[in-house]
């Protein structure tokens, strides 16, 4: 199969990591795989290391202004359609982003040799059984969401990476000819316990015998950094041997740094910035915290940390509870006191933790082989309709 993965923006994160895994393993199985972004969002994606495919973008940078954005999107649509013809693409996989998905739909109209697949990477709701209305969408994203909903019934296949994403799509009346849930897969050869890496990074951060709790996420409102910091402040009042590290970057950096200072966390908190050595970072932690308040589908950071044998305290958002199972602690989203209680409970239980059991859950349920097998089978079925 000739498969083109298409995403909205190129930036460091779980989406790019999953594409790297899929393109690599599908290529090993003999498929012709390529990758395209609508535009780059920053240069942090370089920290991911060498990717197995060439990175291309249709637009040099994210356009600003309604008129310029509209012009650039129209040009991008024509360019994408031309590329599909020139490279004889059989499957266009709109992997992430409302603009990319809708543009992929437009570009494939009337192309007899190219089939469309949409990827659904997040969820609009909180935990299971909670509300599923979109949060914090600007009017442009909301418009694209509605346009995508209107045309969704013509899409041959939608692949969600979480049960929460599947439920959210149904609640918003999205349709498709076929809809599957295929969970993310984790590279347990790369993400694994590593004592040497643990000692190296902890030394870099001047961590000795303290317990280290970390959050790894872009600085976006949905990731719940303010809740994490509030919980950390509550925890540090009782636990003097706890340190905290924030790994990532984003538009809220200055605001969050000021908030942390106001909470009195300056001496306890490390701002590590974006990192390219994520297996070593996870190994340095005693606990990973995921404090998201909405929008998550299948958070990569939880599975990656668990593959390194690190226990997790997570909010009940997306499929986070499904990932940790009985090997982690799940608390309601948006409640700093409950999150602090969950972190304290985990701190008290650290001596009873078996890293092998934590890692084993990921290796057993969320392997790369499961991800690639299911994706290859699903794309092959779509591709057969072209024959």
To 5 degrees, how large is the angle CA 285–CA 288–CA 292?
150
pLDDT (average), residues 241-258 = 95
pLDDT (average), residues 183-201 = 96
Question: What is residue 8's predicted lDDT score, i.e. its pLDDT?
Answer: 83
Question: What is residue 42's predicted lDDT score, i.e. its pLDDT?
Answer: 60
Higher pLDDT pick, 42 / 155: 155
From 137-151, 213-227, 248-262, 344-358, the region with the lowest mean pLDDT? 137-151
Q: Is residue 129 pLDDT above 70, yes or no?
A: no
Give the predicted TM-score (pTM) of the model: 0.87
The tens digit of pLDDT for each residue in 18-63 reads: 888 899 999 999 999 998 888 776 655 555 555 666 778 888 777 6
The tens digit of pLDDT for each residue in 225-236 reads: 999 999 999 999
- 356 pLDDT band, cuts 50/70/90, is very high
Instruction: Give CATH superfamily name and number for 2-185+367-384.
Output: Glycogen Phosphorylase B; (3.40.50.2000)
Question: What is residue 134's predicted lDDT score, i.e. its pLDDT?
Answer: 43
**Residues of the chain with pLDDT > 90: what percent?**
67
Question: What is residue 235's predicted lDDT score, i.e. its pLDDT?
Answer: 96
- 330 pLDDT band, cuts 50/70/90, is very high
Q: Is residue 172 pLDDT above 60, yes or no?
A: yes
Mean of all residue pLDDT scores within the chain: 88
pLDDT (average), residues 89-106 = 90
Question: What is residue 133's predicted lDDT score, i.e. its pLDDT?
Answer: 39
Question: What is residue 49's predicted lDDT score, i.e. its pLDDT?
Answer: 54
Q: Averaging pLDDT over each range in 59-63, 112-116, 157-161, 211-215, which range is the top one?
A: 211-215
Question: What is residue 124's predicted lDDT score, i.e. its pLDDT?
Answer: 57
Q: Is residue 343 pLDDT above 80, yes or no?
A: yes
- 362 pLDDT band, cuts 50/70/90, is very high
Q: Is residue 4 pLDDT above 90, yes or no?
A: yes
Question: What is residue 123's predicted lDDT score, i.e. its pLDDT?
Answer: 67
Question: What is residue 131's predicted lDDT score, i.e. its pLDDT?
Answer: 39
pLDDT (average), residues 111-123 = 88
Q: Is residue 245 pLDDT above 50, yes or no?
A: yes
- 286 pLDDT band, cuts 50/70/90, is very high
Cα–Cα distance measured from residue 112 to residue 289, given in angstroms and rounded to the nearest whole number: 47
pLDDT (average), residues 60-81 = 80
Question: What is residue 187's predicted lDDT score, i.e. its pLDDT?
Answer: 93
Question: What is residue 169's predicted lDDT score, i.e. its pLDDT?
Answer: 83
Q: Is residue 98 pLDDT above 50, yes or no?
A: yes
pLDDT (average), residues 179-207 = 96
Question: What is residue 136's predicted lDDT score, i.e. its pLDDT?
Answer: 47
pLDDT (average), residues 69-93 = 90
Question: What is residue 219's predicted lDDT score, i.e. its pLDDT?
Answer: 93
From 5-19, 29-43, 321-335, the region with the lowest mean pLDDT? 5-19
Say which CATH topology domain 195-365 has: Rossmann fold (3.40.50)
Residue intervals of the chain classified under CATH 3.40.50.2000 are 2-185+367-384, 195-365
């Amino acid at each position: 199969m000739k498969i083109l993965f298409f995403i909205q923006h190129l930036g460091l994160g779980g989406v790019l990591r999953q594409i790297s895994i899929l393109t690599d393993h599908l290529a090993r199985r003999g498929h012709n795989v390529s990758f395209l972004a609508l535009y780059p969002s920053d240069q942090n994606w370089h920290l991911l290391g060498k990717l197995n495919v060439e990175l291309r973008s249709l637009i040099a940078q994210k356009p600003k202004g309604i008129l310029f954005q509209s012009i650039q999107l129209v040009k991008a649509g024509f360019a994408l359609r031309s590329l599909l013809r020139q490279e004889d693409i059989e499957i266009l996989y709109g992997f992430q982003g409302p603009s990319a998905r809708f543009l992929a739909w437009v570009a494939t109209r009337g192309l007899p040799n190219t089939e469309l697949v949409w990827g659904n990477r997040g969820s609009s709701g909180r935990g299971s059984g909670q509300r599923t209305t979109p949060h914090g969408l600007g009017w442009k994203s909301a418009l694209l969401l509605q346009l995508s909903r209107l045309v969704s019934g013509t899409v041959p296949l939608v692949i969600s990476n979480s049960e929460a994403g599947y439920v959210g799509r149904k609640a918003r009346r999205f349709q498709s000819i076929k809809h599957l849930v295929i969970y993310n897969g984790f590279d347990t050869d790369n993400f694994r316990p590593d004592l040497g890496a643990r000692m190296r990074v902890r030394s870099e951060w001047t961590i000795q015998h303290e317990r280290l709790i970390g959050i790894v996420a872009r600085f976006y409102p949905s990731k719940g950094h303010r809740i994490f910091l509030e919980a950390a402040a509550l925890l540090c009042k009782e636990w003097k041997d706890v340190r905290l590290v924030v790994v990532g970057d984003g538009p809220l950096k200055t605001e969050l740094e000021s908030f942390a200072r106001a909470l009195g966390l300056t001496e306890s908190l490390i701002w590590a910035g974006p990192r390219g050595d994520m297996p070593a970072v996870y190994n340095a932690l005693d606990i990973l915290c995921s404090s998201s308040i909405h929008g998550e589908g299948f958070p990569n950071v939880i599975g990656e940390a668990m593959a390194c044998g690190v226990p997790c305290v997570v909010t009940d958002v997306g499929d986070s509870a499904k990932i940790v199972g009985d090997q982690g602690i799940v608390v309601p989203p948006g409640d700093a006191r409950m999150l602090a209680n969950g972190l304290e409970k985990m701190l008290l239980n650290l001596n009873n933790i078996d890293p092998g059991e934590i890692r084993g859950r990921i290796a057993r349920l969320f392997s790369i082989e499961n991800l690639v097998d299911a994706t290859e089978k699903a794309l092959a079925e779509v591709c057969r309709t072209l024959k």
